[in-house]
Amino acid sequence: MLSDPWIGALVALFAWWFSTGAILALVRWADREGRGAFAALAATPLLAFGAWGVLASATMQGPVAIYLGFLSALALWGWIELAFLTGVMTGPNTRICPPNRPEWERFLRAWGTIAYHEMALAAMLIALGLHAQGAANQLAFWTFAVLFFARVSAQVNLFLGVPKFQTEFLPRALAHLPSHFRQAPLNWLFPISVTALSFAMACWLERLWGASDPMRELEFALLAAITALALLEHWFLVLPLPDEKLWRWMLPAPGPRQETTEDSHGL
């Protein structure tokens, strides 16, 4: 039963929904209580589980090993995202971007808001890639790689301009972040992004269809599902869908928000 590709797809869907909601709930609590660093520290068992799971699953076989590798990659990703959203791992620029700045300056400011977080993600991806060399189970690396490149694509789309971006769940530590986004009907990168993600999903599905080993079917089902969810998140940037309702009901009330308009490159 655990090796059923449909079960794998449902596990990926639930893990995506629940882990996102859990992180947002913890971030909302930390924001309201002013305890961002404590929240990130309290979640270090998640980081430890992810590291252990990647190491353990690399030499294991069977459905348990596949799910462990997949969930371990999500755990590593989730902890880094939590550190970012609580303001522990962001970037040197914590100021709002003034309007009408040149594109090069806006890019530098935008990079300055997320630099440490992006470098941590890139370092983790490289570490997982090196560890996956010759490993029997490489699912943790491929899961993290899909999440990484989908995130880079989404961030560049936000910088270039999209019709809709969600700021409701941003904590006070990241109140300056939306000033670096641009609202626009569409940008040149978006069609390329959704085409690339659609192609990647089609590749996973093609390999799923042609796999003769149930374990390979499960791997490709998980990768296809997480890629499909990344594609869905891209469409949330342009379609007038109330995606925030997926998690709003499970979050505590936000605390008061304060913003600053001081001018700084933050670099």
More confident residue, 202 or 266: 202
HSE, side-chain direction, 13 A CA sphere, residue 1: 1
Whether residue 259 lies inside any domain: the answer is: no
What secondary structure, in 3-state letters, does the chain show? CCCCHHHHHHHHHHHHHHHHHHHHHHHHHHHHHCCHHHHHHHCHHHHHHHHHHHHHHCCCCCHHHHHHHHHHHHHHHHHHHHHHHCCCCCCCCCCCCCCCCCHHHHHHHHHHHHHHHHHHHHHHHHHHHHHHCCCCCCHHHHHHHHHHHHHHHHHHHHHHCECCCCCCCCCHHHCCHHHHCCECCCCCHHHHHHHHHHHHHHHHHHHHHHCCCHHHHHHHHHHHHHHHHHHHHHHHCCCCCCCCHHHHCCCCCCCCCCCCCCCCCCC
Determine the pLDDT at residue 262: 37
Whether residue 260 lies inside any domain: the answer is: no
Determine the pLDDT at residue 80: 98
Instruction: Taking residues 63-92, report their average pLDDT.
Output: 97
Whether residue 262 lies inside any domain: the answer is: no
Whether residue 266 lies inside any domain: the answer is: no
Instruction: Taking residues 210-217, report their average pLDDT.
Output: 92
Q: Please check the confidence at residue 256 and state whether its pLDDT lies above 80.
A: no
Whether residue 263 lies inside any domain: the answer is: no
Instruction: Taking residues 1-13, report their average pLDDT.
Output: 92
Instruction: Taking residues 28-49, report their average pLDDT.
Output: 94
Stretch among 67-71, 92-96, 163-167, 213-217 having the lowest mean pLDDT: 163-167
- Which residues make beta-bridge pairs with 25? none
| Helices 44-57 & 139-160 angle (0-180, nearest 10) | 130
Whether residue 254 lies inside any domain: the answer is: no
Q: Residue 60 has which token pair?
A: 């294991």
Q: Residue 196 sits in which domain range?
A: 5-248
Whether residue 257 lies inside any domain: the answer is: no
Instruction: Taking residues 11-29, report their average pLDDT.
Output: 95
pLDDT, averaged across the chain: 92
Question: How far is C-alpha 49 from the chain's CA centre?
Answer: 18
pLDDT digits (tens, 9 = 90+) for 128-143: 999 999 899 999 999 9
Whether residue 267 lies inside any domain: the answer is: no
Q: Please check the confidence at residue 161 and state whether its pLDDT lies above 90.
A: yes
- Give me the number of domains the chain comprises: 1
Instruction: Taking residues 60-68, report their average pLDDT.
Output: 94
**Where does the pLDDT of residue 98 fall: very low under 50, low under 70, confident under 90, or very high at 90 and above?**
very high
Determine the pLDDT at residue 253: 66
Instruction: Taking residues 70-83, report their average pLDDT.
Output: 98
The pTM for the full model equals 0.93
Instruction: Taking residues 88-102, report their average pLDDT.
Output: 94
Determine the pLDDT at residue 6: 95
pLDDT digits (tens, 9 = 90+) for 140-154: 999 999 999 999 999
